[in-house]
């Protein structure tokens, strides 16, 4: 009896050991499969990441290429937005104000009442009573509005403080753009120099060359006017005001005494413009007398 019992116990032990071994084998297989699954996931993630990085590099490369093409097509020698910021930072005299009125393509009025004449450029006339509205003048004024109206602008002085109409002479920056230069570069203004204010004249001349060669703005729309302008030297002097027998010692006239804006403007300038508006013909101080007259 004892021998049979012992045999049974031995069989049980053997069975239990066999079950344990099978359990261990199954467990090992499960771990191996789990490790393989994790390895596959890591490999796939790595491949996806590499593909994404490669796609980004390709996209960035294409974007840079496109930017390079744009920069080349707009002449890499011209100052860009970063150059404009550098110009402002390097300026010796700068102030900031908000533009409340655009008088024409190269003249603005600030919130403090000052009138600013852009240095180094000249846009076609729209408000000069002595001249008809010139080709592309209204487009230039509209572009100037787009660039500066109701915006804070930074003003940089060159040498002169004011012009003969007592307007401040300044380089103007808005939204990171050098406005004087931008108007020339896009074909809304001519590069015109009035010494001694010639700090950026080489840049203006380069911008005008680019606009002319690419038939931008007035260089395309105003063939006859631009042909005349090309014959003129880039350095010009202001024509002195024609003075006559003007009553400028006391407040004698008002706007109702004139039939046209041109007549009022003639007297206004004869008496000295903004500096001596004895008749108070320029109520808003923008250098234009009796603007309500035809």
Report pLDDT digits (tens) over 267-277.
887 888 877 78
Rounded distance between C-alpha atoms, residue 290 and residue 268, angstroms: 9
Residue 64 has pLDDT above 90, yes or no: no
- Looking at the chain, the whole-number percentage of residues with pLDDT higher than 70 is 67
Contacts of 223 (CB under 8 A, 6+ apart): none
What pLDDT score does 199 carry?
94
Residue of 139, 167, 182, 212 marked active site: 167
Question: Is residue 282 situated within a structural domain?
Answer: yes
What pTM does this model have? Answer: 0.55
Q: How far is CA 74 from CA 87, 173, 208, in A?
A: 19, 20, 12
Query: For the residues 215-229, what does the mean pLDDT come to?
Result: 79
What pLDDT score does 133 carry?
86
Helices (H), the chain: 2-73, 81-90, 137-148, 179-185, 201-213, 218-221, 223-231, 261-270
Rounded distance between C-alpha atoms, residue 241 and residue 238, angstroms: 9
Residue 234 has pLDDT above 70, yes or no: no
Rounded distance between C-alpha atoms, residue 78 and residue 292, angstroms: 41
Answer yes or no: do 85 and 227 share one domain.
yes
What pLDDT score does 232 carry?
46
Phi and psi torsions of 229, nearest 5°: -65, -35
Query: For the residues 69-88, what does the mean pLDDT come to?
Result: 50
Query: Dihedral sign, CA of 267, 270, 275, 279?
Result: negative
Question: Is residue 46 situated within a structural domain?
Answer: yes
Question: Counting Cβ atoms within 10 Å, is residue 187 exposed (0-12), middle (13-18) or buried (19+)?
Answer: buried
Number of C-beta neighbours around residue 54 at 10 A: 10
CATH of the domain at 135: 2.40.50.90
Active site residue 145: no
Q: How many domains does the chain have?
A: 3
Answer yes or no: do 201 and 174 share one domain.
yes
For 150, the domain range is: 81-231
What pLDDT score does 238 carry?
41
Rounded distance between C-alpha atoms, residue 20 and residue 25, angstroms: 9
Active site residue 125: yes
Rounded distance between C-alpha atoms, residue 179 and residue 225, angstroms: 23
Query: For the residues 110-130, what does the mean pLDDT come to?
Result: 90
Answer yes or no: do 217 and 108 share one domain.
yes
- Average confidence score pLDDT of the chain: 77
Question: Is residue 237 situated within a structural domain?
Answer: no
Choice between 156 and 20, residue whose per-residue pLDDT is larger: 156
Active site residue 117: yes
Residue of 17, 51, 85, 125 marked active site: 125
Q: How confident is the model at residue 54 (pLDDT cuts 50, 70, 90)?
A: low
Which residue, 45, 73, 101, sits at the end of a domain?
A: 73
Answer yes or no: do 29 and 96 share one domain.
no
């Amino acid at each position: 009896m004892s021998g049979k019992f012992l045999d049974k116990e031995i069989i049980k032990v053997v069975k239990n050991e066999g079950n344990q071994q099978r359990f261990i084998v199954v467990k090992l297989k499960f771990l191996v499969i789990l490790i393989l699954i994790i390895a596959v996931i890591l490999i796939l993630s790595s491949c996806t990441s590499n593909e994404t990085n490669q796609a980004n590099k390709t996209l960035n490369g294409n974007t840079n290429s496109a930017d390079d093409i744009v920069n080349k097509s707009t002449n890499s020698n011209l100052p860009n937005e970063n150059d404009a910021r550098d110009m402002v930072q390097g300026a010796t005299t700068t102030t900031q104000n908000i533009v409340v009125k655009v008088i024409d393509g190269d003249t603005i009025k600030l919130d403090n009442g000052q009138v600013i004449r852009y240095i180094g450029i000249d846009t076609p006339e729209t408000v000069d009573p002595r001249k008809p509205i010139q080709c592309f003048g209204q487009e230039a004024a509209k572009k100037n509005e787009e660039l500066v109206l109701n915006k804070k602008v930074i003003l940089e002085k060159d040498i002169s403080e004011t012009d003969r109409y007592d307007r401040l002479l300044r380089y103007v920056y808005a939204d990171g753009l050098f406005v004087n230069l931008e108007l020339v570069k896009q074909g809304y203004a001519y590069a015109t120099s009035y010494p001694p204010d010639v700090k950026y004249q080489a840049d203006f001349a380069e911008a005008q060359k680019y606009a002319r060669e690419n038939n931008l703005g007035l260089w395309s729309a105003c063939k006859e006017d631009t042909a005349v302008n090309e014959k003129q030297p880039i350095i010009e002097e202001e024509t002195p005001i024609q003075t006559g027998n003007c009553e400028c010692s006391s407040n004698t006239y008002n706007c109702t005494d004139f039939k046209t804006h041109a007549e009022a403007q003639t007297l206004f300038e004869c008496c000295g413009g903004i500096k001596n508006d004895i008749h108070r013909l320029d109520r808003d101080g923008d250098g234009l007398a009796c603007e309500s007259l035809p």
